[in-house]
């Protein structure tokens, strides 16, 4: 990887000091590892030729990024914890900006955008470092990488204590919109469409009935990090296994309809381990059947390679914007997600009709959330994780974020990747809509064992070929 430029991009000079307080939604993620998103774009000559790219494309990206920070001012600042404040704050001071690294890669672009299994570590050089120290933490950083005469990538590393996935997707779509709208007058800031204008109003967030302390959470999850409770330094992650494998799989709209029909057909026939009554719905969401199908394939693949692993659990991050009272606007920029644990029996995932059983439990959990179910304490998930015989599977992002609509002016992404998924050391799935806009779901998967990934791929394909 060749570095061409390291710089700081700041908002326009008119920006004034501002600060926002972190909410309990934000505090859950404080000091946890940043998450990384990488967008790959095909770029034909002459735009992809190095001389043209660095002289024309990069300046346009940097100027439009500055204009975007005008609207998303806190992102150009830092997380700090003033001595007189009970909570950390995000503070922007004139002169602050975001780190941007411009690089050139000799990797084969077509291999980078391929969906087939490959070493997860191959993506790491594309992701930027996000600075943090005991007293200060950056919010976001960027890396722009050229693959000469083929394309480029934009990768962002995001401090999860400030942005959730929906907010991050809104930011990069706003950046793309302003890049497309850019005129020759670099000082003129184009207007954003209303749905991309962020709201940072933290007064809308009402504290829940419970608030488990942040320090208590960190002590339970990272006992070796027993230090200053006001420390803001991101807790380092252990090395990713060398055999960690990344791949993408696609469930077409036809695939999803087939799985929905199968589940509903057997809804009243298949019994669950737990004595819970599930009313048969008229239909199921793509989210429910995608998560059920993929997690069961993962569980059966893990069990198929290691017969001792027989217990599994599934968690997903639910968006609470529409579930709070009062309801938050869709353009609320910050964290408004909370982890939800699916209450299937740990042995259900490897049963013959596991997809049906798990789909019932996921559907029930989603319906409970829609009815305003109480927040689950994150200690519940931690207690489950401490049981060494239970393998957790998690889901991130969403097929409703519209990440493939992120067009900077050179077309839609050839691929969008969650570069940081393997940091959790457990099977993770990342969800996105299919890039052709046909109503399918794209599933990104990182598994720490090649043999498990190979078996998963076989189970995934065979399950879709079965007759109803």
Question: What positions carry a catalytic annotation?
Answer: 160, 407
- The three state secondary structure string of the chain is CEEEEEEEECCCCCCCCEEEECCHHHHCCCCCCCEEEEEEEECCCCCCCHHHHHHHHHHHHHHHHHHHHHHCHHHHCEEECCCCCCCCEEEECECECEEEEEEECCCCHHHHCCCCCEEHHHHHHHCCCCCECCCCEECEEEEEEEECCCEEEEEEEECCCCCCHHHHHHHHHHHHHHHHCCCCCCCCCCCCCHHHCCECCHHHCCCCCCCCCHHHHHHHHCHHHCCCCCCCCCCCCCCCCCCCEEEEEEECHHHHHHHHHHHHHCCCCCCCCCCCCCCCCCCCCHHHHHHHHHHHHHHHHHHHHCCCCCEEEEEEEEECCCCCCCCCCCCECCCCEEEEECCCCCCHHHCCCHHHHHHHHHHHHHHHHHCCCCCCCHHHHHHHHCCCCEEEEEEEECCCCCHHHCCCCCCCCCEEEECCHHHHCCCEEEEEECCCCCCCEEEEEEECCHHHHHHHHHHHHHHHHCCC
Whether the CB-CB separation of 443 and 422 falls below 8 Å is answered with no
Contact of 291 with 318, CB cutoff 8 Å = no
Rounded Cα distance between 468 and 464, Å, is 10
Residues 6+ apart with CB under 8 A from 348: 272, 273, 354, 357, 358, 361
Say how many residues make up the chain: 468
Which residues, listed in sequence order, are joined to residue 143 by a DSSP beta bridge? 101, 155
């Amino acid at each position: 990887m060749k570095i061409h430029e390291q710089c700081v991009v700041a908002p326009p000079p008119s920006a004034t000091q501002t600060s926002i307080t972190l909410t309990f939604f934000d505090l859950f993620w404080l000091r946890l590892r940043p998450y990384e998103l990488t967008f790959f774009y095909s770029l034909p000559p002459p735009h992809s030729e190095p001389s043209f790219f660095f002289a024309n494309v990069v300046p346009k990206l940097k100027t439009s990024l500055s204009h975007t920070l005008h609207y998303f001012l806190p992102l150009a600042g830092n997380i700090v914890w003033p001595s007189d404040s009970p909570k950390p704050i995000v503070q922007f001071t004139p002169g602050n900006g975001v780190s941007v690294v411009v690089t050139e890669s000799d990797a084969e672009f077509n291999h980078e955008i391929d969906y087939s299994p490959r070493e997860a570590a191959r993506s790491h050089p594309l992701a930027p470092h996000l600075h943090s120290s005991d007293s200060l933490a950056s919010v976001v950083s960027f890396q722009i990488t050229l693959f000469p005469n083929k394309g480029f990538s934009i990768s962002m590393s995001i401090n999860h204590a400030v942005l959730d996935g929906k907010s991050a997707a809104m930011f990069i779509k706003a950046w793309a919109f302003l890049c497309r709208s850019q005129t020759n007058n670099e000082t003129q800031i184009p207007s954003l469409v209303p749905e991309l204008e962020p709201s940072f109003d933290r007064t809308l967030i009402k504290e829940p009935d419970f608030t488990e302390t942040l320090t208590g959470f960190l002590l339970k999850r990272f006992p070796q990090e027993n230090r200053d409770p006001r420390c803001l330094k991101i807790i380092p992650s252990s090395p990713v296994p060398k055999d960690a494998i990344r791949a993408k799989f696609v469930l077409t709209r036809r695939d999803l309809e087939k799985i929905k029909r199968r589940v509903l057909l057997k809804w009243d026939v298949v019994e669950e381990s737990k004595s819970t009554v599930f009313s048969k719905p008229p239909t199921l969401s793509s989210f429910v059947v995608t998560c059920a199908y993929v997690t069961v394939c993962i569980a059966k693949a893990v069990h198929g390679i290691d017969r001792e692993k027989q217990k599994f659990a599934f968690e997903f991050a639910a968006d609470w914007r529409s579930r709070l009272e009062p309801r938050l606007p869709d353009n609320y920029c910050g964290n408004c997600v909370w982890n939800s644990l699916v209450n299937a029996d740990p042995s259900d995932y490897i049963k013959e009709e596991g997809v049906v059983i798990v789909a019932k439990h996921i559907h029930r959990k989603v319906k409970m959330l829609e009815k305003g179910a109480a927040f689950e304490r994150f200690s519940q998930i931690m207690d489950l994780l401490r049981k060494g015989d239970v393998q957790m599977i998690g889901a991130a992002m969403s097929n409703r974020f519209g990440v493939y609509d992120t067009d900077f002016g050179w077309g839609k992404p050839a691929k969008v990747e969650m570069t940081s998924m393997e940091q959790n050391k457990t099977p993770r799935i990342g969800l996105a809509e299919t890039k052709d806009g046909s109503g399918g779901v794209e599933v990104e998967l990182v598994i720490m064992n090649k043999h498990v990934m190979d078996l998963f791929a076989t189970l995934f394909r065979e399950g879709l070929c079965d007759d109803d």
